[in-house]
Amino acid sequence: MSNQHPTSGSDRQVTVGATSAVSSLWLSPAILRFWRENNDTAVNQLVSDTRFTGIETPELYIRDGRDPRSGLEQQVLYRDTLVPVCAPQLAEQLGKLSLQQLAAQRLIHMETNDSNWTTWQSWFQALGYQERLNAGIRVNNYTIALAAAEDDAGIVLGWKRLVSPLLARGTLAVLGEHSIDAPNRFHLVSLPEQQLSPAAQQLRQWLLAHL
């Protein structure tokens, strides 16, 4: 997403990065609100479901967990809760399930090389369940996984606060009462403040104040 607006120079432009899910569910609406209040600043989004590294690193980005590189400003945003979510009609049909019953349902599994990602297997293990899980279906993009769940293709592991817009719209519903705290917190990561452009400093302060 790029909010185009005439600027007086490069200091009135900023690029902020996020995964496709964070961008669509939280960051894009937040940037729109920011731009309405600060329409002299152009905000560009860099969307990637792999880690930002090297020359592709934007001035600001949202990351699940801390970036292991040194010399970065890393501000904790929040810790989410991980819950099963699915289409509302399926949630109503299934009701409250035991972990054994949930494990037998059609699960939507995320395939990723990201070691920070919480899988169904690790979620069940955190709740003390070690048995076999339904093979379900597998995707490699969380936005697609959420869309599949909305289409009643199965049950996906939901970052409850992140997917709250979908819960509020009623396209997804929390299934049952099982949950765990996410092992990592979301962070707003940036270059040291003195290295940020004025626009990046402005957006960073706004995001921290309005989350």
Give the whole-angstrom CA distance, residue 182 versus residue 123.
9
Of 12, 15, 79, the closest CA to residue 48 belongs to 15
Give the whole-angstrom CA distance, residue 85 versus residue 160.
9
Burial call 110-133: b when 16+ CB within 10 Å, e when fewer = beeeeeebbebeebbeeeebeeeb
For 181-201, the pLDDT digits (tens) are 999 999 999 988 888 999 999
pLDDT of residue 11: 56
Q: Report which secondary-structure segment, H or E, holds 147.
A: helix 142-150
Residue ranges with strand state E in 36-179: 42-47, 60-64, 73-86, 107-110, 137-139, 155-159, 173-174
Structure-model confidence comparison of residues 52 and 33, the more confident one: 33
- 8 Å CB contact between 176 and 64: no
CA–CA distance from 29 to each of 34, 51, 52, 73, 125 (Å)?
9, 22, 22, 24, 34
Amino acid at 62: I
Of 26, 75, 77, the closest CA to residue 47 belongs to 26
Residue 80 has which token pair? 């989410």
Look at residue 115 and tell me whether its pLDDT is greater than 90: no
- Residue given tokens 């496709």 in the structure block: 20
Structure-model confidence comparison of residues 11 and 91, the more confident one: 91
Look at residue 7 and tell me whether its pLDDT is greater than 50: no
Look at residue 56 and tell me whether its pLDDT is greater than 80: no
Determine the 3-state secondary structure of 109 from DSSP. strand
A 10 A CB-CB count for 51 gives 17
pLDDT of residue 198: 92
Number of helices (H) and strands (E) in the chain: give both, helices first.
8, 10
